[in-house]
Amino acid sequence: MEATIEVTGLRKRFGQARALDGMTFTVAPGQVTGFVGPNGAGKSTTMRVILGLDAPDEGTALVNGKPYRRLRQPLSQLGALLDAAALQPSRSARNHLLWLAHSQGLSAGRVDEVIGLTGLAAVAKRKAGGYSLGMRQRLGIAAALLGDPPVLMMDEPFNGMDPEGIAWMRTFLRDLAAQGRAVLVSSHLMSELQDTADHLVVAGRGKVIADRSVADLIAAASGERVQLRTTARADAMRVLANAGAEVAATAPDVLTIARLSSERVVATLTADRVPFSEVSAHRATLEEAYMELTRIADAVEFRAGASS
Ligand SMILES: Nc1ncnc2c1ncn2[C@@H]1O[C@H](COP(=O)(O)OP(=O)(O)OP(=O)(O)O)[C@@H](O)[C@H]1O
């Protein structure tokens, strides 16, 4: 069967708090799936349920067709990074990985491979207690890769990484997916997932509010808008508004224009002698697409609440 994570109808309460409320999605192989949503949306709880660390009140979570606890050689089926801070501080990265490898019948050679893959070779013999959060994340990822699993799941792997680490992580995640693995990555920051995730599962209040390809999400949020670069922002805003456009200043020297085609934008500016240096189709960022989605979802919930 194909390597996947399948989450169906998960519900879970902690006392009065409803952490999961029908969470359902599938993680496909060969893709990076971003798992995003506001604080408390249920991302970590879902991941803990997938790993069998929390029991759901209802629903199922399957890894390669089976509950995690019933997997044989689980490290060779699912690699997970949940809490990078949870380490034995007096142990070196290499010893930590050797201990994990031995517990699953994996070779010491594989330990050195994953140390190389995650860029830890120079520090592998140092005590993990002195590691930065970024180094701990790399060690957590090395541990997740030990069994060469076809499915990977990481909770906030970008956390604590510097810009170089973030760039490394992006390429690393894309490579893992290109090798055919199913990769699920949670994040708070859309900018981290921009140009990394192929697909996005957006959670809100314990359930999925969007489950779409990143390309679709960005196309939907981009709409028919035009982006204009001009040093005469005020003049451009005035003449374009007079021509019926909706105009927003989105960056220094940049306007984003709706309700007017790029040809009409150029014609209007030229007729009024407003200087400009660039007119292009607007491409929404993942952040904008996400904000649009969560705004719509909140509006729907608000209306549902108001009418009941
Ligand atoms: N062990 C627990 N005891 C009580 N409540 C919990 C527990 N774990 C999670 N919750 C609650 O369940 C809800 C979902 O939390 P969860 O950590 O899964 O969300 P999240 O999407 O991962 O959030 P964040 O982005 O902040 O990590 C929250 O309201 C949280 O307070």
Q: Average pLDDT of each block of 10 consecutive residues along the chain (308 residues)?
A: 89 94 96 92 95 96 95 92 74 89 88 93 85 88 94 92 90 95 91 89 92 87 88 96 93 91 92 94 84 69 44
Q: What local confidence, expressed as pLDDT, does residue 173 receive?
A: 95
Ligand 1 midpoint to CA 203 (Å): 12
Distance 79 CA to ligand 1 centre (A): 22
Measured by CA distance, the residue closest to atom 8 of ligand 1 is 45
Residue 304, pLDDT score = 46
For a substitution probing ligand 1, which of 16, 44, 57, 154 has the most ligand atoms within 8 Å of its CB? 44
Structural fold of domain 5-213 = Rossmann fold (3.40.50)
Instruction: Give the β-pairing of 151-155 and 182-187.
Output: parallel
Distance 156 CA to ligand 1 centre (A): 14
Burial class (CB in 10 A: 0-12, 13-18, 19+), 215: exposed
What confidence score (pLDDT) does residue 84 get? 62
Classify residue 66 by its DSSP letter. Answer: B
Q: Give the atom of ligand 1 at the shortest distance from the alpha carbon of 48.
A: 18
Q: From CA 192, how far away is CA 141, in angstroms rounded?
A: 17
pLDDT tens for each residue of 80-96: 998 766 667 778 889 98
Pick the atom of ligand 1 nearest to 47's CA. Answer: 18
Q: What is the pLDDT of residue 18?
A: 93
How many A from CA of 46 to the centre of ligand 1? 9
CATH number of 224-281: 3.30.70.1150
| Residue 85 confidence (pLDDT) | 61
Compute the distance from residue 175 Cα to the ligand 1 centre, in Å. Answer: 30
Question: Residue with the nearest Cα to atom 30 of ligand 1?
Answer: 40
Q: Which residues fall within 8 angstroms of residue 255, CB to CB, at 6 or more apart? A: 227, 228, 230, 233, 236, 237, 240, 247, 248, 249
CA of 44 to the centre of ligand 1 (A): 7
The ligand 1 atom nearest the CA atom of 12: 12
Determine the residue of 13, 45, 82, 158 to mutate for testing ligand 1's pocket, defined as the one with the most ligand atoms within 8 A of the Cβ atom. 45
Q: Work out whether strand 226-229 and strand 278-281 pair parallel, antiparallel, or are unpaired.
A: antiparallel
Closest residue CA from atom 15 of ligand 1? 40
pLDDT at 194: 83
**What is the Cα–Cα distance from 65 to 26, expressed in whole angstroms?**
11
Question: What's residue 215's pLDDT?
Answer: 86
Residue-range domain boundaries for the chain: 5-213, 224-281
Count of CB atoms situated within 10 Å of the CB of 24? 15
Chain segment 174-198, per-residue pLDDT in tens: 999 999 999 999 988 888 888 899 9
| Predicted pLDDT at 86 | 66
**pLDDT tens digits, 93-124:** 899 899 989 888 888 899 999 999 999 988 88
Q: Say whether 224-281 and 5-213 share the same fold.
A: no
Report whether 2 contacts 150 (CB < 8 A).
Answer: no
Nearest CA to ligand 1 atom 6: 14
Q: Which residues line ligand 1 (CB under 6 A)?
A: 14, 17, 19, 37, 39-45, 188
